[in-house]
Amino acid sequence: MPPEEKPYRVYRGGRTKGQVHDASATTARARRDRGPREPRRRKLGLPKLFRRKTPGRVRWTTISLLAAVGLIVLVVAWGVAGFFSFRSGVSSANDRLGAGVAKTLKPSSGLLLSHPTTILVLGTDSSDTNGREADRHSDSIIVVRSDPAHHRFAYLSIPRDLYVSIPGVGSTKINAAFQVGGAKLAIKTIESFTGIPIQHVVVVDFSQFEKLIDAEGGITVNVPDAVQSNRFDCPYSTNARCEQWQGWRFRKGPQHMDGHQALIYSRIRENLLNPAESTDLFRSSRQQAVAQAALAKLTSVTTLLKLPFEGASLISPLATDLSATQLLQLGWVKFRSSASQDLYCRLGGDATSVGSSSVILPSEDNRSALLMWNGQSAPQLPTSTFGPGCARGHTLSATS
């Protein structure tokens, strides 16, 4: 063995020159290799919603969820406030109907959402401006039948001058029943004449209808023919200006009306553009068009949105036995109905005079019109100016 070689190896401990072992760097590198550290909440099986979020990061799904919950709470609160306001107005309308009227009505067969029902709508008009303060005649008489199964309504118009027998009074115009005995006698008279069981009643005060229509934001009325009235209810303050004024004018076709315009249109008795339309039958048809448009607007989505603020005032022109829940059910049935399938009918007869009064003697064809209204026969248009008949999809004018 050479003397310079040793019989063993020398191992040098310590670090390699120029390298420093960093334990923290090794740990960080290991964490990067296996991904971000899982929070302890995941080990506990908690939902993602409750796991710890990285500071500074916002999850849009959480924001969307909270916004949706907030919107639902707002809608529910709005609906509750609207219903209580609406119910308060309906309660006052129930009180205005008068005692004993509800007992005259026939019981309903079930929920208005799913069962047909008949509603008598009586329109009264007393005006301080024309000396009719004590006039309580029912100028507009309509029997409405809802048909939820077929999503449609049927309207039966009864001329105010129809000459009928009123229980306890005798033979006279049918509109006198309301003046003599209120809604109770009007219900009995119409049931006796038509054979229709009346299950609910709504009395509309046209002198207050202006407020309802304005609260609804106005209504759209289809005017069958152009109308120019005489100078009633002149809008000017001086007689000289009123003498120059030509009267109220309404063009033919659909048009938007505010409360005052609708009230004026419903009160027109004389059409200077067509003297043949200067009868109460035409005036009643105008009132019915206004009443139907306003009551339909009452159940619209835009009106329902106003319930928290206008719920009580919207019902102020009405007196009815219907509850708030029943009115909302009718609103839903009306919402689902098709206007093109609605049926418009009227009773009628021959114009004549009895004593000094102009009346309409009932026609035998009224029986056929009632069968049409009940859906038992096909609708047919009236064959004379005052005759009975039906039409589907549009309101009957006096000349239909």
pLDDT in tens, 117-140: 999 999 886 554 444 445 566 778
137-156 pLDDT per residue, tens: 677 899 999 999 989 999 99
User: DSSP class of residue 353?
Assistant: E
The pLDDT tens digits along the chain (400 residues) read 555 555 555 555 555 555 555 555 555 555 555 555 555 544 445 455 445 555 545 577 777 777 888 778 877 776 666 666 677 878 888 998 988 899 999 998 889 999 999 999 998 865 544 444 455 667 789 999 999 998 999 999 998 889 999 999 999 999 999 999 999 999 999 999 999 999 999 998 877 778 888 888 889 998 888 999 888 888 888 888 888 888 899 999 999 999 999 989 988 888 888 887 767 777 777 887 888 788 777 766 666 666 655 666 677 888 999 998 898 888 888 888 887 888 999 999 998 988 888 899 999 999 999 999 999 999 999 888 888 999 887 666 555 5
Q: Note the pLDDT of residue 132.
A: 46
The full DSSP string for 38-97 is: PPHHHHTT--GGGSPPPTT---HHHHHHHHHHHHHHHHHHHHHHHHHHHHHHHHHHHHHH
Query: In Å, what is the CA distance from 57 to each residue of 32, 60, 355, 389?
Result: 20, 10, 90, 72
CA distance 127 to 106: 32
The H helix count followed by the E strand count for the chain is 13, 15
* Structural domains of the chain, ranges and CATH numbers in brackets: 76-219+269-347 (3.40.630.190)
User: DSSP class of residue 16?
Assistant: P
Q: Note the pLDDT of residue 339.
A: 79
Give the DSSP H or E segment for 146: strand 138-147
CA distance 75 to 86: 16
Q: Note the pLDDT of residue 131.
A: 46
The answer to whether 165 touches 359, Cβ cutoff 8 Å, is no
Sheet bearing 343-346, strands edge to edge: 318-320, 200-205, 117-124, 138-147, 152-157, 343-346, 389-392
pTM for this entry: 0.74
Contacts of 210 (CB under 8 A, 6+ apart): 259, 260, 262, 263
Q: How many residues does the chain have?
A: 400
Tokens representing 191 are 């049931």
